[in-house]
Amino acid sequence: MTFTNIIQNNARPGHYECTVIENRALSRRYYLLVLSRPREMTNPEPGTFVHLLVPDANRFYLRRPFSVLDCDDETISLLIVEKGEGTRIMRRIEKGRPIDIVGPLGSTFPKVPGKRVLALGGGVGLAPLYYYGVRREAKDCETYRLLYGARSREDLFVDGFDWALDGVSFSTDDGSHGFQGNIVEFAQHEFEQSQVDVIFSCGPNPMLKAAAEFADRVGVPHYVSLENRMACALGACRSCVVLTRNGAIRYRTVCNDGPVFDARELVWKELPQA
């Protein structure tokens, strides 16, 4: 099977030094990092990411990719989950300190004029979907409904974050806030209540795989943003590949062909589920 892919990468990345404007905890493991936006930096489209150098490192670190959560003329906001040493160091970086970034990078969630979008954000995967919703124009899509799920209320940061977006609903696996169940169950529930033409999703791979199965089952186009370890982030080194099938089987890069893919193109059984 072959199909036309509407995903585009028009990012024109640069290498910049930003300043930390705000760095605060949103929940147990999540924090919000707000950086000054370099004047020359092109506008990051929803779905794109920046590649951050771990500051004050006393060892070798590859850069870390983070999806843009929000951006205006003055600032870029990133949603970060503390996962390892790099993100632990970044959590401590103080206001006023410099941060070295490359960006914006990667493909974007598509504009789907006249379509009703259901967006599924799991954990830190909220970022690009929030950004799409908060910056969208009337011509980008007809309606945009964002479901945001996490394990429990402590991970959701419903209170610590200024939600500038209407139409967000929450789910928790343990039912401590919002819909009880995982986000795909929540999506199924929503799907029965209202019309959906397109699904967007971003989150852990097992969630994305379940979302892809759901989208297939209901016959709705599904665009998904993946995460992976990267080195160059420019599509050059071929480190961050995933197996795809659009006619031929081949590896494509999450950094440059993605991070947003048409879910039908991904060979899901080959995607690591850890």
Partner 1 sequence: MVTNNDISVTLGPVTFKNPVFIASGICGYGEEYSPLVPIEELGAVVTKTITVRSRLGNPPPRIHEVPTGALNSIGLENVGLEAYIRDKLPLLRDKRVGVIVSIAAEFEEEFVEVADKLAPLDGYKGLELNLSCPNVEEEALDHGRNPEFVERITRIVKERVPDRALLVKITPNVTDIGEVAKAAEAGGADGISAINTVVGVDFDLETGKPIFHRGSGGYSGPGILPIALQKVWEISRAVSIPIVGMGGISSVDDARKFFIAGATAIQVGTSLWVDPELTKNIIAALHEHPEYLGTGTAE
Query: Least Å distance between CB 69 and partner 1?
Result: 23
User: Residue 250: which of 233, 236, 270 has the closest Cα?
Assistant: 270
- What mask, x for binding partner 1 by CB under 8 A, covers residues 30 to 69? -----------------------x-----xxxxx------
Closer CB to partner 1, 59 or 139, in the complex: 59
Q: Report the run of H or E that residue 103 belongs to, with start and end.
A: strand 98-105
Nearest approach, Cβ of residue 222 and partner 1 (Å): 22
Rounded to a whole number of angstroms, the minimum distance from the CB of residue 149 to partner 1 is 26
Exposure class string for 18-44: b at 16+ Cβ within 10 A, else e:
bebbebeebbebbbbbbbbbbeebeeb
| Residue 217 near partner 1 by CB under 8 A | no
Q: How many residues does the chain have?
A: 274
Tell me how far, at minimum, the Cβ of 51 lies from partner 1, in Å.
9
Residue 53 or 118: which CB sits closer to partner 1?
53
First-last CA distance in the chain: 28
Q: Does 83 bind partner 1 (CB under 8 A)?
A: no
Shortest separation between residue 150's beta carbon and partner 1, angstroms: 23
Report the candidate in 136, 55, 65, 58 with the shortest Cα–Cα distance to residue 99. Answer: 55
Q: Restricting to residues 219-248, which ones interact with partner 1 according to CB under 8 A? A: 228-243
Which residue from 10, 95, 270, 273 is in contact with partner 1, where contact means CB under 8 A? 270
In sequence order, the 6+-apart residues with CB closer than 8 A to the CB of 213 are none
